Amino acid sequence: MSRGYLPFALRRAGQAVLVILLAYVATFVVISVLPGDPVTATLRNPQNGFTEEQIARIVSYYGLDRPVLVQLWEALSRFVTGDLGVSLRSNRPVADMIGEVVPSTLVLAGASLGLALLLAFGIAFGVRYLPRPFGPALRSVPSLFLSVPGFLVGLLLIQIFSFGLGLFRAIDADSPWATFFAALTLGVWVSAQVAEVLIANLDREAEQDYAGVARARGLGQARLLLRHLLKPSALPVVTVLAVMIGEVLGGAVITEAVFGRTGLGSLVESSVASQDLPVLQAVVSLAAVVFVLVNLLADLVYPLLDPRVTVVRPEARVAVA
C-alpha cells in the first residue's frame, strides 16, 4: 500500500481542486443564464434605498458592466482568495452570513449522521441475529424508511413528541430535544441507505468460504460477526457515507424548514426567495467544496482500511499471465 500512496494522494487532491473550480464555474453559468436581471432589479428597488452612487459602486465591484467571461474570471479569483462577496439583500459579507449559520447545520448534520449509523448498524445486526419473525421482518424497514418523505417524518415527530407528549417546544428550535428530533428526521432517511448496503454486504460475506472456515474453527455467530463479517461489510459504508453527504446537505434544507431552525438550509431558502445571488453562489460552491473534500477523504482513507486496495495506476500494473 505505502508504495505510491503519496503520488496517489496528490493526484486525487489535484483532481478535487479541479472539481471544486468547475463546480464554481458551473454555478456561475447557471446563475448568469437565468432569465431576468435580479441584481439590478434588487438594487433599483426603492425599498432598499441604494443611491445611484452606491449602485454604481456595487455594479462595478461585481464587474456587472463588463463581459461575462471577465466577470467569471474576477469572481473566481475572489473565490480562490476566500472572498465570497457581499449579500445583495443585507449588504453584509456573505462569508459572515454563512459563518453564522454553519455551526447549527454542522450540529444537525453530525447528529443525524451519528443517529443514522446507530440505526443502520442496529437494523443490520437485528436482521442477522434476531430470532424469527423479528429479524426477517426488519429487512423491510430500510425500504419503508426510504419511501416516507423526510418532511412527513419531521411533521409526525413534531406532532407526537412536541404537541402530543410535550417533550419539547416546537418554537424553541435549538433545544436539545428539538435538535435530536430534527437530526432523527434527517438520519432516518440516511440510515435506510446505509442499512441496505450493510445488510446486503453482511449476507454476502456470510456466504464466503472464509466465514464457513472460521466457523469450523469454532467461532460462534457473535464472534464471527464482530471479528470477520463486520469489517469487510462496513468498508463500503465509508464510500456510501461520502456520497450521502450531498443528500444530508440537501435534506438539511427541508428539515430546517420543518423544524424552524436557522442554518445553511434556511439561508438557502431565504436567499432563493429574495434572489440573493451572491449568497446562493457561495452556498452552492461551499456545498461542492464539502462534498468534494468528504469524498477525497473517503478515497484517501479507503486504501488504509482495506489492505487489498492498491493505489497503483492501472497501466503500471504488470499483467502476470
Partner 1 sequence: MAPQDRLTSTLERPESTVAPLLQVEGLRVAYGGHEVVRGVDLELGAGRSLALIGESGSGKSTIAKALLRLLPTGGKASGRVELAGRALLELPERHFRRLRGRTIGFVPQDPGNALNPVRTIGAQALEAAELVDELAKPDRRAAVLETFAQVGLADPERVFLSYPHQLSGGMLQRVLIGLAVLPRPALLVADEPTSALDVTIQKRILDLLSELREGLGISLLLITHDLAIAAERADSLLVLKDGVAQETGPTAEVFAAPSSDYARRLHADVPALNPDRYAQLRDLGRAGAPKIEVVAVTKSFGSLTAVDDVSFSVPAGTTHALVGESGSGKTTAIRLLSGLEQPDSGRIAVAGEELRGRSHASLRSVRRHLQLVYQNPFTSLDPLWKVERLVREPLDRYRIGSPRERDELVRETLTAVGLGEHLVSRRPSALSGGQRQRVAIARALVLRPDVLVLDEPTSALDVTVQADIVETLLRLQAEQGLTYVFVSHDLSLVRQLAHTVSVMRRGRVVEQGTVAQIFDSPQEEYTRTLLDSLPVGAS
The binding site for partner 1 (CB under 8 A) comprises: 208-210, 212-220, 227-228, 231-232, 235, 305-308, 316, 318-321
For residue 281, give the amino acid letter: Q
User: What's the rounded Cα separation, in Å, for the pair 193 and 82?
Assistant: 35
Q: What grid cell was written down for 169?
A: 417546544
Closer residue to partner 1 in complex, CB, 179/201: 201
Q: In whole angstroms, how close is the CB of 125 to partner 1 at the nearest point?
A: 18
Q: Are 94 and 87 in contact (CB under 8 A)?
A: yes
Q: How far is the CB of 111 from partner 1 (least distance, A)?
A: 30
In this complex, which beta carbon is closest to partner 1, that of residue 52 or of residue 209? 209
Angle at alpha carbon of residue 283, lines to 33 and 146, rounded to 5°? 100
Q: Given the complex with partner 1, which of 59 and 219 has the nearer CB atom? A: 219
Could you tell me the smallest distance in angstroms from the CB atom of residue 222 to partner 1?
A: 11
Shortest Cβ distance from residue 129 to partner 1 (Å)?
14
Do 168 and 161 form a contact (C-beta atoms < 8 A)?
A: yes
Give me the least distance between CB of 194 and partner 1, in Å please.
19
Report d(CA 78, CA 25) in Å as an integer. 13
**Nearest residue (CB) to partner 1, 156 versus 200:** 200
In the bound state with partner 1, the residue whose beta carbon lies nearer, of 53 and 209, is 209
Collapse the DSSP code of 312 into the 3-class scheme (helix H, G, I; strand E, B; otherwise coil) and give the result: coil
Nearest by Cα to 71 from 129, 120, 125, 31: 31
Q: How far apart are CA 79 and CA 77, in angstroms?
A: 5
Q: Minimum distance between the CB of residue 138 and partner 1, rounded to whole angstroms? A: 17
Distance in Å, CB of 320 to partner 1, minimum: 6
Name the helix (H) or strand (E) containing 265.
Answer: helix 264-273
CB closer to partner 1 out of 203 and 269: 203
18 φψ region: left (φ > 0), alpha (ψ -120 to 50), beta (else): alpha
Q: Which is nearer to partner 1, 234 or 268 (CB)?
A: 234
Nearest to 311 by CA among 183, 321, 319, 301: 301
